[in-house]
Structure 1
Amino acid sequence: MIRIGILGAAKIAPPAIIEPTRRRTDCRVVAVAARDAGRAAAYAAKHDIQHVADS
């Protein structure tokens, strides 16, 4: 299993990384980090991402 972490809570990540990853069985997005911890947490909740960090 390939586990992916996203740096930055940008609008490009869902269509470019999150949605394609969900269509696969061999990888998943498991973490997100952003400069603002609150934004990272909200992004993680919206996209069902388990781990959150600020950078």
Structure 2
Amino acid sequence: YELLFTAPASAREAVQAASRQAHTTVTRIGRIDHEPGMRLIDDHGNRAHALPSRFSSFDHFA
């Protein structure tokens, strides 16, 4: 299994410490901001392109 979760930037050190203590890898893959929609950002922080709407999250409660 893989787990996707969010945590505030202020908790970054605590998340990294928990990762080390649990001997598991945690990878930061993005961030949530005030702008609606999803965007793909490249390794240099530049917006690559808008993601098509078909790339939406799974609705577990639908």
> Does the TM-score normalized on the shorter chain lie above 0.5?
no
RCO comparison, higher one (Cα < 8 Å, 6+): 1
The structure that has the greater radius of gyration is 2
TM-score between the two structures when normalised by the length of structure 2: 0.31
Structure richer in strand, relative to its length: 1
Structure richer in helix, relative to its length: 1
